[in-house]
Amino acid sequence: MSMEVRKIILVAGARPNFMKIAPLMHAIENQKTIEPILIHTGQHYDEQMSELFFKQLEIPEPHVNLEVGSASHAVQTARIMERFEKVCLEIGPAMVMVVGDVNSTIACTLVASKLGIVTAHYEAGLRSGDRSMPEEINRIVTDSICDYFFTTSKDANENLIKEGKQTDNIFLVGNLMIDTLMRLLQKATIEGLRNSEIEGLDDKYALVTLHRPSNVDHSEMLLSIMKALQKLAHHMPVIFPVHPRTRLRISDIGYRISEKQQLYLIDPIGYLEFLSLQKNATVVITDSGGIQEETTVLGIPCLTMRENTERPITVWEGTNKLVGVNDIEYEVEEILKGNGKKGKVPDLWDGKAAERIVSILIERIRW
């Protein structure tokens, strides 16, 4: 008697979501009981990078792109819900799986829940304790209505249990971002960057990535950050792939870079190119959650420009340190002296999270 094939919608809305979805797509390919349907909400979309991105992650183009585009949180969430409901009614999936903490995560969970479709959240239970962050609201609300929870660390399990979730529905599986990193690390080479304007990549350099409103939307804070990076550029090259929105903010505050400086504001780059820069960096300065995880596994000192993090395991066990803009110079000096934060790789961050998730989907989910 043949086993029923179940359709699972995998939802991605922003670029980091695809790094989490990709290993699941690869793992599901190796069995015959699940049919994955990849939905891109189009919450974040870069036409120039899109084809390269899917090629590098070795996944097919999404089955459906909702093409919601940028808008306010309310408008974007509403657009996703309206368009995703039609997709769910047309496909009739057995499950909707969401990842991360973007507007797509909460919007698609809400739609599926109201349609009576089983829901699962990968990266469930992460909490920063800071409700001024839109992502924190998305995390809390998604987990409040979800059916199954796939977690990356023990603290996430503890948070879910405190919030009243049944332990039978919580699965500690490891980290899908690290699955992708380990799969593609050998392909990530400095030569792949192909940017002749950047010098000194064979020596020490800092890699920067900033996008959170608390850092880039406030003129005074952004100017302080740029001045700190300018100081750092006297010691080593500073490579900053800049999102177009952030570049506009930098222009708005009237900041200009001297031609003699080693502060390189470059356009967004592919995953492999960024990974190559990251694995060879002396220090990474960021406000991204995923990069806190990747640097921990790569053993690269990470300075996170935030007051809190929903990934505290990267601080407890990894190479991550929360800093303010005024701490950067001192912390980098310590790293250059060899006193950068050392850490270990958290349990189950071994490149096999997707295999564990697929096994649970087949053997332990109540359909």
User: Identity (one letter) of the amino acid at 140?
Assistant: I
d(CA 284, CA 364): 39
* CA 111-115-117 angle, 5° bins: 95
Domain ranges of the chain: 6-174+349-363, 187-336
* Cα 207 versus chain centre, distance: 17
pLDDT of 44 reads 75
d(CA 131, CA 140): 9
d(CA 34, CA 226): 48
| Cβ neighbourhood burial of 337 (10 Å; 0-12, 13-18, 19+) | exposed
Those residues with Cβ within 8 angstroms of residue 42's Cβ, 6 or more apart along the chain or in another chain = 13, 65, 66, 67, 68, 69
Give the catalytic positions in this structure. 211
Q: What is the CATH number of domain 6-174+349-363?
A: 3.40.50.2000
- Indicate the pTM of the whole model: 0.93
Name 40's bridge partners: 12, 65
Among 37, 34, 32, smallest CA distance to 59 is for: 37
d(CA 101, CA 14): 10
CATH architecture of 187-336: 3-Layer(aba) Sandwich (3.40)
pLDDT of 318 reads 98
pLDDT tens, residue order, the chain (367 aa): 346 899 999 999 988 899 999 999 999 988 889 999 999 998 876 666 677 788 899 999 899 999 998 889 999 999 999 999 999 999 999 999 999 999 999 999 999 999 999 999 999 999 999 999 999 999 999 999 999 999 999 999 999 999 999 999 999 999 999 999 999 999 887 655 555 457 667 789 999 999 888 899 999 999 999 999 999 998 899 999 998 888 889 999 988 876 667 899 998 888 999 999 999 999 999 999 999 999 999 999 999 999 999 999 999 999 999 999 999 999 999 999 999 999 999 999 999 999 999 999 999 887 7
